[in-house]
Structure 1
Amino acid sequence: MKERVIALGFFDGVHLGHAALLRRTAEEAARRGCTPAVFTFDRPPKEVVTGVPCPLINSPEDRRDLIRRLYGIRDVLMVPFDQEMMTTPWEPYITEILVGRYHAVHLVAGHDHHFGHKNGGNPERLVEKCRELGLGCDIIPKVEVAGITVSSTYIRRLVELGQIDRANRFLGHPHTLTGIVRHGRGIGSARLFPTANLTIPPHVLVPSHGVYVTRAYLPGGESYAAVTNVGTRPTVNNGTDVTVEACLLDFEGDLYGQTVRLEFFQHLRDEMRFDSLDALKARIAADAETTRRYFEHL
């Protein structure tokens, strides 16, 4: 039986508040000789219960990757938020699911974590139940940056506004968006710069329209500085479909069908319409130079 120290939460953004939980989980697992794990859901419980769509900072795949890559958590238990999860009262949620099914010996949760049917479980009840069962338990206090509580809700707003460098301060890492490269209209690669047109995962926020300093990570692990346009490409497109199009600097090759991870660092400028492709190309060249300088001075 694989005993686990389990962090509880949804972990959208995997931000600095989550980091405190995940570091504590890894520490305790190392101390006990157990497996560090996260117990989370494939979609937001609030969305399922209310029926109101909740755009997220990250796709489930990006959440899983960030938790593993940044914090060394081996097991990311991403379970469906289904009828069973929605209707299990808080006590059997601990005893039957976390302990019985996933072999928890120690639980770690945030100061505002609620769980079980109708959110009947809270941090106080979790501590009390763990004591009764002989489990370890940590409740992590809120984390603040510059007097503001770090939260997924606040970071979502920053991403929506395009305030990426500020969002990154609260995330503790660059904002991440991973997608499969799809065929665009061919204008970028044929007449401007090699580009990767990303398919946006469903229910995932894209930053506010504009041009960003980014870095693109390819499946083999190599990375390239990139100028990324988020928006409708008014100069070369019909001006309605939202696209995420990364111009990879110093890259040659074909990325169609491959999965590319983009990390966003800074908003360069708003999206604008140019009178000609030559004017657009000149501006992208200037953006490319700014992007190179950004990474030189990191």
Structure 2
Amino acid sequence: MDIIHLTYPERPVEDPAVIALGFFDGVHLGHQRVLQVALEKGRQLNVPVAVMTFDPHPKQVLGQGTEQVRYITPLDRKLEKMAQLGIDRVYVIEFTITFSELSPQDFVDHYLIAAGACHIVAGFDYSYGRFGAGKMETLDFHSRGRFDHTTVSEHQADKEKVSSTRIRHLLASGAVSEAATLLGEPYQTKGIVIHGDARGRQIGFPTANIRPEFSYVIPKLGVYATFVHLEDGRKYPAMTNIGRRPTFYETGDVSIETHLLQFDEDLYGQELKLEWMAYLRDERAFDGIDSLKTQLAQDKINALQALTV
């Protein structure tokens, strides 16, 4: 798959293709439907299929809201999933203030017509140009007769729209298995193992303290059943805690610590990938080390059960 990075005023080279439009955070089942429609159209027209997306998120650049923008998928994972689906080419446009000020017509002229688009595919709620003034209903007018388009209707699961916002809300509530259903795969995060306070090893449950490499959506505080992928490709069942370790600290920063089951090696400095499979329990303070160890032993049993279903 060809990946072409563009920063305004750079234009794509004309190379006829069906182009799918969207930010595609998560490349979830709704996004996959858009991409499948584009792939079907590409086969009909016998031309390559491209995606035109943006990085970073517009909210990050335009400063909408006070909270840090968090993502379901970093760009590299988004591109991996698109390649797996069979996309031939991806245009990644750097989202800048200057780019955001393009009129809908300028966006179409500068990027879609310039790229040689012969057909456009996007979801029903896609918008383009300054203030999102361009809609799928206006695309025929802005196309200057150079291409036509397909609008993909809302994709639902359990009578509710499948969306990145819905998946973020599920993760924030700890519903990682439900989020996986909408993503079409378990939710994934990556991070580097850093030194912690080694309390887990002292009580017989050594943990890898993971520093996320990216501004991921972090699931709610609690204990989870996870799979951990090592740099060498090995995969282990694990139980992972997101929290402030209230048994030991009254206050503290949120940390992500994972205990790999049936494993005892040094992981410091390694990049680990976590697959979040099931929520086990809330984080809570215990009245002593013995009660904590008893709960951790039960967590281990529950994690193994969740991971072998």
Going from structure 1 to structure 2, the CA distance change for 1:275 and 1:114 (only over 3 Å counts) comes to same
2:53 corresponds to which of 35, 40, 47: 40
CA distance in 2, matches of 1:197, 1:33: 50
Query: Which of residues 117, 141, 147 is equivalent to 2:130?
Result: 117
Give the match for residue 163 of structure 1.
Answer: 175
1:210 match: 222
Task: Please say if residues 62 and 178 of structure 1, whose CA atoms lie closer than 8 Å, have aligned partners that are also in contact.
Answer: no
Q: For 2:277 and 2:264, how far apart are their aligned partners in 1?
A: 23
Is structure 2 residue 200 aligned with structure 1 residue 188? yes
Q: Does 1:220 align with 2:214?
A: no
SS at match of 1:199: strand
| Distance in structure 1 (CA, Å) of the matches to 2:291 and 2:305 | 22
Structure 1 equivalent of residue 287 of structure 2: 275
In structure 2, the partner of 1:107 is 120
Select the residue among 77, 92, 96 that pairs with 2:110.
96
C-alpha displacement of 1:64: 1.9
Shift of residue 72 of structure 1?
3.7
Among residues 270, 278, 285, which one is paired with 1:266 in the alignment?
278
User: Against the structure 1 CA distance between its residues 205 and 120, is the aligned structure 2 distance closer, same or farther, given a 3 Å change threshold?
Assistant: same
Name the CA shift for 1:30/1:209 in 2 (closer, same or farther; >3 Å).
same
Alpha carbons of structure 1 residues 239 and 34: separation in structure 2 relative to 1, 3 Å? farther
Q: Which runs of 5+ in 2 are unaligned?
A: 1-12
Instruction: Name 2:92's counterpart in structure 1.
Output: 78
> Contact 1:59/1:201 (CA < 8 Å) preserved in 2?
no
Q: How far is 1:82 from its partner? A: 0.7
Shift of the 226–123 alpha-carbon distance from structure 1 to 2, 3 Å rule, reads: same
**Secondary structure of 1:240 counterpart:** coil
CA distance in 2, matches of 1:238, 1:103: 60
Q: Per-residue displacement from partner, 1:200-250 (whole Å, max 9, x unpaired)?
A: 345432111111111122233332111111111222445321011111122
- Aligned equivalents of 2:127 and 2:157: distance in 1? 23
TM-score, scaled relative to structure 1:
0.87
CA shift at 1:268, angstroms? 0.5
Residue in 1 that maps onto 2:23: 10
CA apart distance, 1:188: 2.4
Q: Distance in 2 between matches of 1:30 and 1:253?
A: 49
Per the alignment, residue 200 of structure 1 pairs with 212
Which residue does the alignment assign to 2:41?
Answer: 28
Aligned counterparts of 1:191 and 1:47: Cα–Cα separation in 2? 42
Q: Which amino acid aligns with 1:150?
A: V
Distance 1:83 1:55, change over 3 A: closer
Residues 39/192 of structure 1: CA separation in 2 closer, same or farther (3 Å cut): farther
Q: In the aligned structure 2, how far is the partner of 1:179 from the partner of 1:69?
A: 23
Query: Counterpart amino acid of 1:96?
Result: H
Find out whether 1:141 has 2:149 as its counterpart.
no
Report Cα offsets for 1:133-153 as digits up to 9, x if no partner: 0x3522110011111111222
- The alpha-carbon deviation at position 185 of structure 1 amounts to 1.7
Structure 2 residue identity aligned to 1:58 = I
State whether structure 2 residue 78 is matched by structure 1 residue 64: yes
What do you get for the CA RMSD once the two structures are aligned? 2.6
Q: Which amino acid aligns with 2:39?
A: A
The alpha carbon displacement at 1:269 in A equals 0.4
Separation in 2, partners of 1:50, 1:71: 33
Normalized per residue, which structure has more helix?
Answer: 1
For residues 136 and 252 of structure 1, the distance between their equivalents in structure 2, rounded to whole angstroms, comes to: 58
3-state DSSP class of the match of 2:167?
A: helix
Task: Work out the number of aligned pairs and report it.
Answer: 295
Q: Is the 8 A contact 1:56 1:156 kept in 2?
A: no
* 1:38–1:222 Cα change, 3 Å: farther
SS, match of residue 149 in structure 2: strand
TM-score w.r.t. length of structure 2: 0.84
State the Cα distance separating 1:87 from its structure 2 match. Answer: 1.2
Q: Is the 8 A contact 1:181 1:257 kept in 2?
A: yes
Q: Tell me, what secondary structure is at the counterpart of 2:33?
A: helix
CA distance in 2, matches of 1:98, 1:204: 30
Match of 2:242 in 1: 230
